[in-house]
Amino acid sequence: MDLGRDSSTLIREYLTLGLRFDRIEEGYVDSFTGDPALKRAVDAEPRPDPADLVRQAERLLAELPADLDDARAAFVGAHLRALACAGRKFAGEQVGFVDEVEAYFDVRITKGDPERYRQAHAKLDDALGGAGVLAERVQAYRSAEEIPPARLEECIHAFSSALRDRVRATFPLPARETINYEVVTDKPWSGFNYYLGDYRSTVAVNADLKQQMSNLPRLVAHESYPGHHTEHCRKEAGLVEGKGQAEQTIFLVNTPQCLMAEGLADLALYAAVGHGASEATGNGHGWGAWATEIYADLGLRFDGERAEMVSEATAALADVRQDAALMLHDEHRDVDDVVAFLKQWLLVNDERARQMLRFLSSPLWRAYTSTYVEGYRLLRGWLDTRPDGVSLTERFGTLLDEPLIPSSLRTG
């Protein structure tokens, strides 16, 4: 499609606007693989006024050109609305939490159901067996699953290699695509993908968080194959190089991109291997049995069947953190009440609950938890309600390849 002068100009202004947000809050641009001269020009500008950025976003939203097709116009428009909200917050405007999440991520959130949390605890109790306080048994299970730090790197590479072979056979990637893994410390997250462009990523895994055997396969799939790295590569090849959609060269936090990307990445292991024994894809068993074989090759024992049961039970507790954010920001509950809520339902100690609260209290990151909660819920439902004749692989490929936003899935 010939973009025409108007749309090309608007997309360049959109990229410039996104880069300017990084001048206000470093890290707002998660990755930029577009024109280096544009970034140099923005870096040379004076620090922008957030109110000016709001006006720029609203002007661009009003000027979306007719020669953008519907999908691109919806994508760019949703991201401009997210940036306008972010600019208002940076300018000091108070925005309610539910409204903030909706503006950023194109979803409307509500509180979860405590009855569902009680049922999850009952399933956890059955999966773990034994007697005693459930929180103590959960902690004992997690401790027993910790990967010895000296073995972490080889475990990462073993899962990456196995997933890469499987994924490349299903979702072709350029021959030169590559990932460099780093084991790091002193970070607030478990893993992070730094997409560098030209089909290259650096994936950092935090050794401080005592990586668990049941989580590592999901972590590698989430960050690498067929998660963040695979999505970046496929969109760079198909949308940027193939169709000239330059808006895909920037990835901004607190935008619909994040909800789509985190939901996709949280479903990566499900799409590649199978989420459970009853939902296996292509190999006759679920991810637990598959991971057990890989760990066995490394001389490590892993109970994959139990890990699947524990994982299924804890997945139903995903809403708890979002509930905590709602309690904190929209209900203005006492901090100690929110900590007690997190401890009760997530079965964590006081120190861990207060660590979670620090993330949920961050002005920049407080809404981000919703990308995981709502992203998984929306994308899982969309993947599992497929038209007749459409496979899970085909459906997941659409998520990897198309410039979708949450409202695209709700209407399609």
Residues 190 and 268 in one domain: yes
Residues 70 and 169 in one domain: no
- Confirm whether 333 is domain-assigned: no
Asked if pLDDT for residue 277 goes beyond 80, the answer is no
pLDDT, tens digit, 9 for 90 and up, residues 204-251: 998 887 899 999 999 999 999 999 999 999 999 999 999 999 999 999
- Confirm whether 111 is domain-assigned: no
Q: Which amino acid is at 255?
A: T
| Local structure of 41: helix, strand or coil | helix
DSSP string, 172-217: ---TT-EEEEEEE-S-SSSEEEEEEETTEEEEEEEGGG--BTTTHH
Nearest to 183 by CA among 216, 149, 158: 149
pLDDT, tens digit, 9 for 90 and up, residues 41-79: 999 999 999 999 999 999 999 999 888 999 999 999 999
Q: Of all helices (H) and strands (E), which one includes residue 401?
A: helix 392-401
Nearest to 228 by CA among 209, 244, 251: 251
How far lies 60's CA from each of 66, 69, 110, in Å? 13, 16, 31
Residues 55 and 170 in one domain: no
Structure tokens at 276: 């459970």
Residue 81 domain boundaries: 7-95
- Confirm whether 214 is domain-assigned: yes
Question: Residue 65: what pLDDT?
Answer: 87
Structure tokens at 295: 């760990």
Model confidence at 285, pLDDT cuts 50, 70, 90, reads low
Residues 79 and 226 in one domain: no
Question: Residue 186: what pLDDT?
Answer: 82
Residue finishing a domain among 56, 72, 95: 95
| Separation of alpha carbons 357 and 365, rounded Å | 11
Residues 231 and 156 in one domain: yes
Q: How many CB atoms lie within 10 A of CB 365?
A: 15
Question: Residue 412: what pLDDT?
Answer: 63
Residue finishing a domain among 32, 61, 95: 95
Strand partners, 180: 202
Q: Is 107 exposed, middle or buried (0-12, 13-18, 19+ CB in 10 A)?
A: buried
Contact 93, 266 (CB under 8 A): no
Structure tokens at 16: 């410039």
Residues 35 and 168 in one domain: no
- Confirm whether 231 is domain-assigned: yes
Residues 373 and 274 in one domain: yes
Strand partners, 184: 206
Helix segments in 252-334, DSSP class H: 256-266, 268-272, 287-297, 304-315, 319-329
Nearest to 258 by CA among 43, 50, 86, 17: 86
CA angle 354/220/387 to nearest 5° reads 100
Residues 171 and 268 in one domain: yes
Structure tokens at 15: 């990229």
Strand pairing category for 178-184 and 200-206: parallel
| Residue with the two structure tokens 């609260």 | 357
Model confidence at 119, pLDDT cuts 50, 70, 90, reads very high
Work out how many domains the chain is built from and give that number.
2
Helix segments in 44-190, DSSP class H: 50-62, 70-90, 97-105, 114-128, 134-144, 152-170
| Separation of alpha carbons 227 and 400, rounded Å | 9
- Of 216-225, 279-288, 382-391, the poorest mean pLDDT is in 279-288
pLDDT, tens digit, 9 for 90 and up, residues 164-210: 999 999 999 999 999 999 999 887 788 999 999 999 999 999 888 78
| Separation of alpha carbons 75 and 14, rounded Å | 12
Contact 300, 216 (CB under 8 A): no
Cis ω on the peptide bond leading into residue 174 (within 30° of 0)?
Answer: no
Residues 73 and 168 in one domain: no
- Confirm whether 309 is domain-assigned: no
Residue finishing a domain among 95, 116, 136: 95
Residues 6+ apart with CB under 8 A from 412: none
- Confirm whether 86 is domain-assigned: yes
Percent of the chain whose pLDDT exceeds 70: 96
- Confirm whether 315 is domain-assigned: no
Percent of the chain whose pLDDT exceeds 90: 87
- Confirm whether 119 is domain-assigned: no
Residues 294 and 184 in one domain: yes
CA-based radius of gyration for the chain: 22
| Separation of alpha carbons 263 and 318, rounded Å | 12
